C-alpha cells in the first residue's frame, strides 16, 4: 500500500483524527500540544498519527491535503484545519459540538494510534 492509500485509509477509519508531532500526552511541538489539548478538552476519544514516527506521511500529507503545516485535524474525512483554526473553533464554542456529535455517531471509536 502506498503512502497516499494509507493516509486515505486512516482518514476513513478514524472519524476524529489528528496528525501531529508527538502524541497527545507527549507532544513534540507547541502547536501540536495546543491542538491536542483543545481536542482532549472536548472530552471525546480521538485517534492520532505521530508524523515524526511516519516520515512518509509527513512528506505526503501536505500535498494530499493541500495544507502545508501540522497539526491537521480531520473529522469524518474532512480537513478541519490546523492549530489556529482548531483553537479559534474551540474558543468560539464550535469545536466541542462538532467533536461530540461525531463521537455520538460513532460510539465504538476510541483513543488510538492510526
Q: Please give the annotated binding residues for glutathione, written as ranges.
A: 21, 58, 70, 83-84
- In 3D space, the residue among 54, 32, 35, 50 whose CA is nearest the CA of residue 99 turns out to be 35
User: Pairing relation of β-strands 16-20 and 112-113?
Assistant: unpaired
CA atoms of 77 and 33, how far apart (whole Å) = 22
* φ, ψ of residue 28 in degrees (nearest 5): -110, 10
Q: Which three cell numbers stand for residue 49?
A: 498519527
Residue by residue, DSSP assigns 38-57 as HHHHTT---EEEETTS-HHH
* φ, ψ of residue 113 in degrees (nearest 5): -100, 120
Q: Which residues are annotated as a binding site?
A: 21, 29, 58, 70, 83-84
Q: Which residues are annotated as a binding site for [2Fe-2S] cluster?
A: 29
Amino acid at each position: 500500500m502506498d503512502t497516499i492509500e494509507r493516509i486515505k485509509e486512516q482518514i476513513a477509519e478514524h472519524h476524529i483524527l489528528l496528525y501531529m508531532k508527538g502524541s497527545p500526552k507527549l507532544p513534540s511541538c507547541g502547536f501540536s500540544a495546543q491542538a491536542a489539548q483543545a481536542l482532549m478538552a472536548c472530552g471525546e476519544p480521538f485517534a492520532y498519527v505521530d508524523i515524526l514516527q511516519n516520515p512518509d506521511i509527513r512528506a505526503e500529507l501536505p500535498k494530499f491535503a493541500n495544507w502545508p503545516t501540522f497539526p491537521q485535524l480531520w473529522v469524518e474525512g474532512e480537513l478541519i484545519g490546523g492549530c489556529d483554526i482548531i483553537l479559534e473553533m474551540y474558543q468560539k464554542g464550535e469545536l466541542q459540538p462538532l467533536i461530540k456529535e461525531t463521537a455520538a455517531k460513532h460510539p465504538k471509536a476510541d483513543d488510538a494510534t492510526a
